[in-house]
Copies of this chain bind each other. A is one copy, B any other.
Amino acid sequence: MTPENGTAPNDRNVEVASAPAAPMRWDGWGDPARAESLPFAVRSLLPLVVGRVRRPPAGPVLEDVHVEATALTPDDIAAFTALLGAQHVRTDAESRIRHAGGRSTPDLLRRRQTAQSAPDAVLQPAGHDEVAACLRIATERGLAVIPFGGGTSVVGALEPERGAHRGVVSLDLGRMSGLLQYDAVSAEAVLAAGTSGPEAERLLAGHGMELGHYPQSFRYATIGGFAAARSSGQNSAGYGRFDAMVTGIRVATPTGDLELGRAPGSAAGPDLIRLFLGSEGIFGVITEVRVRVHPVPAERLMESWSFPDFATGAAALRAVAQHGGGPTVIRLSDETETGVSLAQVGRIGRALAKGASAVTVFEGDDVAGRRARTAELLQGAGGTSLGEGAAEDWLRTRFDGPYLRDALLDAGVFCETLETATTWSRLPALREAVTAAIKDGFSEVGRKAFVMCHVSHVYPTGASLYFTVLAPLGSDPLTAWAGVKHRVGDAIMAAGGTISHHHAVGRDHAPWLSEEIGETGIRILAAVKRELDPHGVMNPGAVLGPATPAPVSTKA
């Protein structure tokens, strides 16, 4: 990113001091100090929704987990050490286990096993040039590379898969954190790819600005991960998907670098930034991201709504998306999710537990006007205003879902989420098809599933659907879930949905990508990968699935 405009508070390749967050639990979500048991309200509800469950045996403590000895040779380690320093080439068991996958429910279930697969080493480059050098060394030596940001993938993008190579390293971008440039006039900031969500917001707040990107993984996920996975945050109605926030990127690939993004609008050929957004490390590593920022909102208004049913609520959200009421957040829970949410806050039995509830939040300029226009559209479409209460509840607890999942798993309840999107006209049928696929899949293995759904991202032409699934954990939850996911993927394709709206492809969704983009689409991605990564070291198996082995170097 050219530095002539705006301030450049840090040299580009220098590690930026940042407030260290406590490392995430190795075998669950988030802050270890916050691990909690199941709230009473949830515990009392469980028998109604999934029947009786049995508490499973506890998983191993970290010290008891077995991983194989590293496949890296002393020569490999010496090459990386000469570049990064010994303290940034980790081969100890704990470092390797902490980089052994993401945070999907299958990931967490695998952490409950004693023998686990793990990358052969963890590399910690300090900046773009060190990343580029790591990729060259890995290519020369025939080692696969898995880029690692916050470790929050829920689609298997961080599996330590070596493909046809003799070893695999995790490339942890955690040292690459900081605000590298800030341009107040253009309202743009360049952030190092390893900067976490909270750290990015802390740094921008120093200039009175914010990014406003709040996916549920916000507290741990990184700027580079948001870009590589095409993330979408809870404020997407107001500030857009992460795709829309990105105005430039810097990328290191095994065979060359890129700096893209000279103007907010361009017709200088295809927009190559979009080829790296969603590439999940299969072409190279996004090292810096230029983003559009906006002033920290001075005002926030919110309002909750109730609709007689999901279909009425969805039509109301569509009216807002197509006529521009202007909410920052707009979400609609289906009848099932509405019932459980109200139960959780102790409101069972109130009349409003029926129907579908929605939340709207307004931040920034003209909040009162936007709330009024949105309210007029929602009311005109059959909604009833419930005031601020439920919206405040949602806002307060919006990052806490993953903690509840850990407590449910401990109690013997399988809990996972999945998501898709489609046009407004296909949305009702897609919701029914996915719900049925989940229930049928669990029913086939003799379990009752409880399925909740919400719409949390709206566009003029369509919307996302986000499902939360509860079921008894049973004896082999990994196999049971694999069967369910297979049915769901097929159901999404048949109903005209996308295989992912914001979780990305990783390895879990790769089997459906050829149906989504066609064989010619797959050929395009494979051709780009061959050009940039001719030996196939970058994240093998992600996005494109297990490929024909590329020629690999035999140097060891």
Contacts and interface: CB of A to CB of B under 8 A. Distances in A.
Nearest to A492: B262
Nearest to A279: B270
A530 interface: yes
Q: Pick from A322, A459, A517 the residue with the most CB of B within 10 Å.
A: A517
B524 A531 contact: yes
B268 A505 contact: yes
Contact of A263 (B253, B318, B420, B524): B420
A385 to B, nearest CB: 20
B425 A257 contact: no
A266 B421 contact: yes
Interface string A446-484: 000000000001011111100000000000000000000
Interface size range of chain A in the complex: 35 or more
Contacts of A422: 262-263
Nearest to A463: B264
B525 A258 contact: no
Interface stretch (A33-41, A120-128, A165-173, A184-192): A184-192
Contacts of A236: 265
A103 interface: no
A316 to B, nearest CB: 13
A521 B258 contact: yes
B294 A263 contact: no
Interface stretch (A10-18, A74-82, A225-233, A329-337): A225-233
A373 B279 CA distance: 40
Quick one: which of A229, A457, A461 has the most chain B CB within 10 A?
A: A461
A324 to B, nearest CB: 6
Interface in A31-50: none
A535 interface: no
A2 interface: yes
A523 interface: yes
A349 interface: no
Identical subunits present: 2
A460 B189 CA distance: 13
B278 A188 contact: no
Instruction: Name which of A255, A464, A523 has the most chain B CB atoms within 10 A of its CB.
Output: A523
A143 B6 CA distance: 50
A177 interface: no
A528 B229 CA distance: 22
Contact of A525 (B269, B366, B457, B459): B269
A309 interface: no
A425 B6 contact: yes
A424 interface: yes
Contact of A464 (B265, B365, B532): B265
A230 B271 CA distance: 10
Interface of A: 2, 4-6, 183, 185-188, 229-232, 236, 241, 243, 247, 253, 255-260, 262-272, 274-280, 292, 294, 318, 322-324, 364-366, 369, 373, 420-426, 457, 459-464, 496-505, 509, 513, 516-521, 523-528, 530-532, 543
5 contacts: A183-B425, A188-B461, A230-B271, A232-B267, A527-B530
